[in-house]
Amino acid sequence: GAGVSQTPSNKVTEKGKYVELRCDPISGHTALYWYRQSLGQGPEFLIYFQGTGAADDSGLPNDRFFAVRPEGSVSTLKIQRTERGDSAVYLCASSPLGVWEKLFFGSGTQLSVL
Amino acid sequence: DQQVKQNSPSLSVQEGRISILNCDYTNSMFDYFLWYKKYPAEGPTFLISISSIKDKNEDGRFTVFLNKSAKHLSLHIVPSQPGDSAVYFCAASHSNYQLIWGAGTKLIIKP
Protein backbone atom coordinates (compact mmCIF):
# COMPACT_ATOMS: atom_id res chain seq x y z
CA GLY A 1 0.00 0.00 0.00
CA ALA A 2 1.04 3.57 -0.56
CA GLY A 3 0.03 5.01 2.79
CA VAL A 4 1.00 4.62 6.44
CA SER A 5 -0.34 1.36 7.81
CA GLN A 6 -1.19 0.82 11.46
CA THR A 7 -2.14 -2.47 13.06
CA PRO A 8 -4.29 -3.45 14.75
CA SER A 9 -7.00 -0.92 14.01
CA ASN A 10 -8.61 -1.74 17.34
CA LYS A 11 -7.15 -3.23 20.48
CA VAL A 12 -9.07 -4.06 23.64
CA THR A 13 -7.05 -5.07 26.66
CA GLU A 14 -7.38 -5.36 30.39
CA LYS A 15 -5.80 -3.05 32.90
CA GLY A 16 -2.27 -4.16 33.70
CA LYS A 17 -1.64 -5.95 30.41
CA TYR A 18 1.12 -5.26 27.89
CA VAL A 19 0.30 -4.08 24.36
CA GLU A 20 2.22 -3.47 21.16
CA LEU A 21 1.04 -1.19 18.39
CA ARG A 22 2.63 -1.40 14.98
CA CYS A 23 3.28 1.27 12.35
CA ASP A 24 4.47 0.69 8.81
CA PRO A 25 5.46 4.06 7.30
CA ILE A 26 5.50 5.14 3.69
CA SER A 27 8.48 3.59 1.93
CA GLY A 28 11.43 5.95 1.87
CA HIS A 29 10.18 8.18 4.67
CA THR A 30 13.00 8.50 7.17
CA ALA A 31 11.04 10.39 9.82
CA LEU A 32 8.39 8.64 11.91
CA TYR A 33 6.20 10.09 14.62
CA TRP A 34 3.81 8.72 17.21
CA TYR A 35 0.91 10.83 18.48
CA ARG A 36 -1.89 10.06 20.91
CA GLN A 37 -5.40 11.48 20.54
CA SER A 38 -7.78 11.32 23.46
CA LEU A 39 -11.50 11.79 22.99
CA GLY A 40 -12.41 15.37 22.19
CA GLN A 41 -8.81 16.53 21.94
CA GLY A 42 -6.24 17.06 19.25
CA PRO A 43 -3.28 14.75 18.72
CA GLU A 44 -0.53 14.95 21.31
CA PHE A 45 3.12 14.35 20.35
CA LEU A 46 4.76 11.28 21.85
CA ILE A 47 8.00 10.46 20.05
CA TYR A 48 9.95 11.19 16.88
CA PHE A 49 12.35 8.87 15.03
CA GLN A 50 14.87 9.94 12.44
CA GLY A 51 16.05 6.67 10.97
CA THR A 52 16.51 4.03 13.63
CA GLY A 53 17.06 6.28 16.61
CA ALA A 54 14.56 8.09 18.77
CA ALA A 55 15.55 11.70 18.15
CA ASP A 56 13.01 13.03 20.63
CA ASP A 57 10.99 11.01 23.14
CA SER A 58 10.02 13.95 25.32
CA GLY A 59 6.32 13.40 24.74
CA LEU A 60 6.18 9.91 26.22
CA PRO A 61 4.05 10.30 29.36
CA ASN A 62 6.03 7.92 31.59
CA ASP A 63 8.38 4.94 31.53
CA ARG A 64 5.54 2.52 30.77
CA PHE A 65 5.70 3.76 27.21
CA PHE A 66 8.51 2.77 24.86
CA ALA A 67 8.93 2.74 21.10
CA VAL A 68 11.43 1.15 18.75
CA ARG A 69 12.31 1.30 15.09
CA PRO A 70 15.13 -1.20 14.75
CA GLU A 71 15.62 -1.15 10.99
CA GLY A 72 14.56 2.40 10.27
CA SER A 73 11.23 1.40 8.80
CA VAL A 74 8.53 -0.33 10.88
CA SER A 75 8.02 1.02 14.39
CA THR A 76 6.39 -0.53 17.43
CA LEU A 77 4.93 1.43 20.32
CA LYS A 78 4.96 -0.64 23.49
CA ILE A 79 2.88 0.06 26.57
CA GLN A 80 3.47 -1.87 29.77
CA ARG A 81 1.04 -2.27 32.67
CA THR A 82 -1.72 -0.51 30.77
CA GLU A 83 -4.06 1.82 32.66
CA ARG A 84 -7.57 2.96 31.80
CA GLY A 85 -6.19 6.43 31.13
CA ASP A 86 -4.11 5.02 28.27
CA SER A 87 -7.31 4.52 26.27
CA ALA A 88 -7.00 6.69 23.16
CA VAL A 89 -6.33 6.59 19.44
CA TYR A 90 -2.63 6.14 18.79
CA LEU A 91 -1.62 7.76 15.51
CA CYS A 92 1.54 7.14 13.56
CA ALA A 93 2.83 9.50 10.90
CA SER A 94 5.81 9.58 8.57
CA SER A 95 7.48 12.18 6.42
CA PRO A 96 10.45 12.50 4.08
CA LEU A 97 13.76 13.73 5.44
CA GLY A 98 13.56 17.41 6.36
CA VAL A 99 9.82 17.70 5.70
CA TRP A 100 8.35 17.98 9.18
CA GLU A 101 5.31 20.10 8.46
CA LYS A 102 3.49 17.81 6.07
CA LEU A 103 2.95 14.58 7.94
CA PHE A 104 1.29 11.53 6.45
CA PHE A 105 -0.84 9.84 9.09
CA GLY A 106 -2.12 6.33 9.38
CA SER A 107 -5.70 5.62 10.41
CA GLY A 108 -4.64 4.98 13.98
CA THR A 109 -5.08 2.23 16.54
CA GLN A 110 -8.01 2.64 18.92
CA LEU A 111 -6.77 1.30 22.25
CA SER A 112 -9.36 0.52 24.91
CA VAL A 113 -8.18 -0.48 28.37
CA LEU A 114 -10.94 -2.07 30.43
CA ASP B 1 -2.85 24.80 29.59
CA GLN B 2 -4.05 24.76 26.04
CA GLN B 3 -1.64 26.64 23.83
CA VAL B 4 -3.80 26.20 20.73
CA LYS B 5 -7.54 26.65 21.04
CA GLN B 6 -10.36 26.02 18.63
CA ASN B 7 -13.35 27.37 20.50
CA SER B 8 -16.05 26.14 18.14
CA PRO B 9 -16.56 22.37 18.44
CA SER B 10 -18.78 22.42 15.35
CA LEU B 11 -19.86 24.63 12.48
CA SER B 12 -22.66 24.19 9.97
CA VAL B 13 -22.50 25.96 6.60
CA GLN B 14 -24.65 25.90 3.49
CA GLU B 15 -23.09 24.38 0.40
CA GLY B 16 -21.62 27.09 -1.81
CA ARG B 17 -21.14 29.58 1.03
CA ILE B 18 -17.95 30.49 2.84
CA SER B 19 -16.76 28.42 5.80
CA ILE B 20 -14.59 30.21 8.35
CA LEU B 21 -12.80 28.17 10.98
CA ASN B 22 -10.99 29.95 13.77
CA CYS B 23 -8.01 29.18 15.93
CA ASP B 24 -6.31 31.08 18.75
CA TYR B 25 -2.91 30.50 20.28
CA THR B 26 -1.18 31.76 23.38
CA ASN B 27 2.52 31.18 22.73
CA SER B 28 4.02 34.08 20.79
CA MET B 29 7.07 31.94 19.98
CA PHE B 30 5.09 29.81 17.53
CA ASP B 31 6.31 30.63 14.05
CA TYR B 32 4.54 28.10 11.85
CA PHE B 33 0.88 27.19 11.67
CA LEU B 34 -0.91 24.37 9.92
CA TRP B 35 -4.38 23.09 9.19
CA TYR B 36 -5.16 19.41 8.92
CA LYS B 37 -8.40 17.80 7.88
CA LYS B 38 -9.73 14.52 9.24
CA TYR B 39 -12.46 12.23 7.98
CA PRO B 40 -13.96 9.57 10.30
CA ALA B 41 -11.83 6.45 10.72
CA GLU B 42 -8.92 8.08 8.88
CA GLY B 43 -5.81 9.89 10.02
CA PRO B 44 -5.48 13.66 9.62
CA THR B 45 -4.30 14.92 6.23
CA PHE B 46 -2.32 18.08 5.68
CA LEU B 47 -4.33 20.91 4.16
CA ILE B 48 -2.45 24.20 4.23
CA SER B 49 0.17 26.03 6.28
CA ILE B 50 1.51 29.50 6.91
CA SER B 51 4.74 30.90 8.25
CA SER B 52 4.65 33.73 10.77
CA ILE B 53 6.40 36.00 8.28
CA LYS B 54 3.25 36.00 6.18
CA ASP B 55 -0.30 37.04 6.94
CA LYS B 56 -2.04 35.10 4.20
CA ASN B 57 -1.55 31.92 2.23
CA GLU B 58 -3.90 30.68 -0.45
CA ASP B 59 -4.28 27.29 -2.11
CA GLY B 60 -7.28 26.93 -4.38
CA ARG B 61 -10.46 27.18 -2.34
CA PHE B 62 -8.51 27.33 0.91
CA THR B 63 -6.99 30.46 2.42
CA VAL B 64 -5.36 30.81 5.81
CA PHE B 65 -5.08 34.21 7.47
CA LEU B 66 -2.70 34.94 10.33
CA ASN B 67 -3.07 37.86 12.73
CA LYS B 68 0.03 37.77 14.92
CA SER B 69 -0.95 40.70 17.11
CA ALA B 70 -4.20 38.96 18.02
CA LYS B 71 -2.59 35.50 18.07
CA HIS B 72 -5.35 34.34 15.81
CA LEU B 73 -5.59 32.44 12.58
CA SER B 74 -8.49 31.44 10.43
CA LEU B 75 -9.14 29.06 7.57
CA HIS B 76 -11.52 30.17 4.84
CA ILE B 77 -13.08 27.69 2.45
CA VAL B 78 -14.80 29.20 -0.58
CA PRO B 79 -17.05 27.84 -1.94
CA SER B 80 -17.86 25.10 0.58
CA GLN B 81 -18.55 21.68 -0.88
CA PRO B 82 -20.11 18.54 0.66
CA GLY B 83 -16.72 16.80 0.61
CA ASP B 84 -15.40 19.49 2.95
CA SER B 85 -17.45 18.01 5.79
CA ALA B 86 -14.77 16.81 8.21
CA VAL B 87 -13.00 17.73 11.43
CA TYR B 88 -10.44 20.51 10.96
CA PHE B 89 -7.46 20.76 13.26
CA CYS B 90 -5.29 23.80 13.73
CA ALA B 91 -1.69 23.15 14.80
CA ALA B 92 1.26 25.35 15.70
CA SER B 93 4.98 24.82 15.85
CA HIS B 94 8.33 26.40 16.69
CA SER B 95 9.43 25.45 13.14
CA ASN B 96 9.98 21.86 14.09
CA TYR B 97 8.19 18.54 14.16
CA GLN B 98 6.57 19.00 17.58
CA LEU B 99 3.15 20.17 16.49
CA ILE B 100 0.80 21.52 19.15
CA TRP B 101 -2.77 20.81 18.11
CA GLY B 102 -6.14 22.31 18.86
CA ALA B 103 -9.12 20.14 19.73
CA GLY B 104 -10.66 20.43 16.29
CA THR B 105 -13.81 21.89 14.73
CA LYS B 106 -16.34 19.64 13.04
CA LEU B 107 -17.50 21.27 9.81
CA ILE B 108 -20.82 20.18 8.37
CA ILE B 109 -21.72 21.33 4.87
CA LYS B 110 -25.47 21.29 4.30
CA PRO B 111 -26.73 20.59 0.77
Asked if the model's pLDDT at residue A18 lies above 70, the reply is yes
> B43–A105: do the CB atoms touch at under 8 Å?
yes
Average pLDDT over residues B45-49: 96
Best mutation target among B3, B99, B100, B106 (most A Cβ atoms within 10 Å) is B99
If one compares B1 and B3, the residue with the highest pLDDT of the two is B3
User: Tens of pLDDT along A69-79?
Assistant: 999 899 999 99
B chain contacts of residue A106, beta-carbon cutoff 8 Å? 43
Q: How confident is the model at residue A1 (pLDDT cuts 50, 70, 90)?
A: low
**Element spanning A30, H or E:** none
Q: Residue B96: which of A4, A43, A100 has the nearest Cβ?
A: A100
Whether residue B102 and residue A33 make contact (CB cut-off 8 A), yes or no, is no
List the single residue in B with minimal CA-CA distance to A102. B46
Residue B45 has pLDDT above 90, yes or no: yes
Output the DSSP codes for B84-97: G-EEEEEEEESSSS
Q: Do A91 and B43 touch (CB under 8 A)?
A: yes
Mean pLDDT along residues A56-74: 94
Residue A62 DSSP symbol: S
